[in-house]
Amino acid sequence: MWNLAKYDVEPHGSSEGVPAGLGVIIDPADGQIPYKPWALAHQKDNFAKSRITYPYDPLKNADPVARCYLPGVPRITYLGWPLEIVQTKDYLSVVYEWMHLRRMIPLTPREVPKGLDLWDGVSRAHWEGDTLVVKVTDLSDHTWLDMTGNFYSKTAQVEERYTRVNADTLTYEVTIDDPNVFTRPWKMRMPLQRQRDVPLLEYECHEALKDAGIPPTWERDWDQPLVIPKE
């Protein structure tokens, strides 16, 4: 999965270690996330708190992925590590190299448990012709969408659409709808390229941090709730 969405899903200039990119947002047409004013300010705050400057301490980076926390959906798809899709008629299993994560997505109807908010949300899938549609709900507000602090809240609904274009290519389209954060739903799109005969390897993120001199942590700063201002 080689695209630049992991850095920033919007158009962006280059910075240290980050190539410039035109973004992956197809709707709205200007490629910008349609934030409400309070949310745009919050994203800028996230951005400021996640800049990598040297000497670098990942534990002080507000980006949850810098501390190896779950990337959530859809960020896990374009995080930069490969994924493997195992498909049967009753479920889709997506196995991710990053932190040995896997999403088991039922293809048959199954009730969504109530009252939860989860880093990966709860996924339910169905076919629309040759497109697999995955609706993700019951999300938490602990995750970001990329390294610049783009985000959604607990009320977000994410819809992934996987469409086979040819034997080795899928189109991955994501619609994000969250009336507390955005003025309207918006969409991203990117290709997912298959690599045949390459197995999924491993990325134990926190082991890599430990090898780089950052010991395991148990800080709980992610559980400060996102405060959504009253309108």
Partner 1 sequence: MANKLAFVLATVGLICATTALEAHHSFSAQYDANKPIVLRGTISKMLWSNPHGHLYVDVKTPDGKLVTWELETASPPQLFRRGWRKEDLPIGSEVIVRGFMARDGTAAANAAAVTLVSTGKELFAGSPSDGSPEAPPAGAAK
Partner 2 sequence: MRANSVVVLALTFAFAGLGLSPAPAQVAGGRDLEREAAAARKQAEEKTPIPRMKDGKPDFTGMWRPSGIGATFAWEAHPAGFGTASEGPSIIGDPADGILPYQPWALKERERRRRPESAYEENSVKCTITGMPRLLVYEFSIQQFPDKVVIFHATSNIATRTVRFDNRPPLPSSIRLWMGDARGRWEGDTMVIETTNLNGQAWLNLGGDVMSDAMHITERYRMLNATTMSMEAVIDDPKVYTRPWTMKFPGPHRKIGTRVVNDDEFDFEDSCLEGNTDLRHFKNLYDAAHAKSGSQ
The interface partner of residue 115, options being partner 1, partner 2, none and the CB cut-off 5 to 8 Å by kind, is: partner 1
How many amino acids of this chain bind partner 2 (CB under 8 A)?
Answer: 39
Residue with tokens 């309108």: 231
* Chain residues 131-190 in contact with partner 2, contact rule CB under 8 A: 142
CA–CA dist 147, 40 (Å, integer): 15
Q: Which of 176, 182, 226 is nearest to 64 (CA)?
A: 226
CA–CA dist 190, 170 (Å, integer): 9
Which residues make up the interface to partner 1 (CB under 8 A)?
Answer: 113, 115-116, 220, 223
CA–CA dist 106, 41 (Å, integer): 37
Output the smallest distance, CB 218 to partner 2, in A.
5
Residue 58 binds to partner 2 (criterion: CB under 8 A): no
Helical (H) or strand (E) element with 48:
helix 37-48
| Cβ neighbours around 134 below 10 Å, total | 22
Burial class (CB in 10 A: 0-12, 13-18, 19+), 27: middle
Residue 195 binds to partner 2 (criterion: CB under 8 A): no
Output the smallest distance, CB 209 to partner 2, in A.
10
The span of 10-18, 80-88, 153-161, 183-191 binding partner 2 (CB under 8 A) equals: 80-88
Query: In the complex with partner 2, which residue's Cβ is closer, 18 or 214?
Result: 214
Output the smallest distance, CB 112 to partner 2, in A.
8
Query: In the complex with partner 2, which residue's Cβ is closer, 110 or 164?
Result: 110
C-alpha radius of gyration, the chain, whole number: 18
β-sheet bridge partners, residue 122: 137
Output the smallest distance, CB 194 to partner 2, in A.
14
Output the smallest distance, CB 205 to partner 1, in A.
16
Using CB under 8 A as the criterion, what x/- string covers residues 85-104 for binding partner 2? -x-x-xx-x-x----xxxxx
Residue 125 binds to partner 2 (criterion: CB under 8 A): no
Q: What is the DSSP string of 65-114?
A: GGGT----TTTTTTSSS-EEEEE-SSEEEEEESBTT-EEEEESS--PPPS
> Site residues (CB under 8 A) for partner 2?
67-70, 84, 86, 88, 90-91, 93, 95, 100-106, 110, 112-113, 116, 118-120, 122, 142, 197, 199-202, 204, 206-207, 216, 218, 220, 222
